[in-house]
Amino acid sequence: MRLSLLLPLAFLFPAMVLAQTNYSTPMRDVENPDRSPYQETSSFTLDPPFVNGFANFATPPGKRFVIEYVSISCSSPDNFDSFPQVYLNVRKIISASQTAGISVPLMPLLRAGTAAFGGSAYFGGMSLKAYSDWDPFASGGTGGQGIALNVFHTSASVRASCLATITGHSLNL
């Protein structure tokens, strides 16, 4: 008998708890002047006899760059070529007179099929969270190119072509 009296109250209890719960409104950060979108693209080649090449990205002065996504596509005329290593190189300001380079290993590129003019096409993309400061000692204080991708391939006898994009946002220092 008591159970039949409590059963209707059991359905009302969750409604009473929800009625007294306070929800916060998420804060939008889109109008924050310290944070602005950052996206750069670089095309480059890996020329023989070298097995690696660099994609360099501009880093304007006075900014810290938060890198959130990296994508790379490469093509090689050699069907047996591969792209086993990619490194993200960033700069960190240590003091007023010193910066340090940091190298972050990324993904190997995967074969995506036949390239447009023969050979093979490769692609890789990765979500991450990496930081790079502008380089105050590069190019007379103009910021230089504090972000670079170092891409390796296995065939030193052919010229491979690559296109790389990094996205994220920048913060004022």
Residue count (the chain): 173
Structural domain boundaries enclosing 165:
36-172
**CA atoms of 158 and 40, how far apart (whole Å):** 27
For 109-132, how does the pLDDT look when each residue is reduced to its tens digit (9 = 90+)? 999 998 888 889 999 999 999 999
Q: Would 134 be classed as within a structural domain?
A: yes
Q: Would 17 be classed as within a structural domain?
A: no
**CA atoms of 167 and 29, how far apart (whole Å):** 17
Predicted TM-score (pTM) above 0.85: no
Query: Rounded to 10 degrees, what is the CA torsion of 7, 8, 10, 15?
Result: 170
Q: Would 15 be classed as within a structural domain?
A: no
Q: Would 23 be classed as within a structural domain?
A: no
171 alpha carbon, distance to own chain's centre: 15
Q: Would 49 be classed as within a structural domain?
A: yes
- Residue 93 belongs to domain with CATH number: 2.60.120
For 50-96, how does the pLDDT look when each residue is reduced to its tens digit (9 = 90+)? 999 999 988 888 889 999 999 999 999 999 999 999 999 999 888 88
Domain count, the chain: 1
Q: Would 114 be classed as within a structural domain?
A: yes
Structure tokens, 117: 């003019």
Q: Would 11 be classed as within a structural domain?
A: no
Q: Would 20 be classed as within a structural domain?
A: no
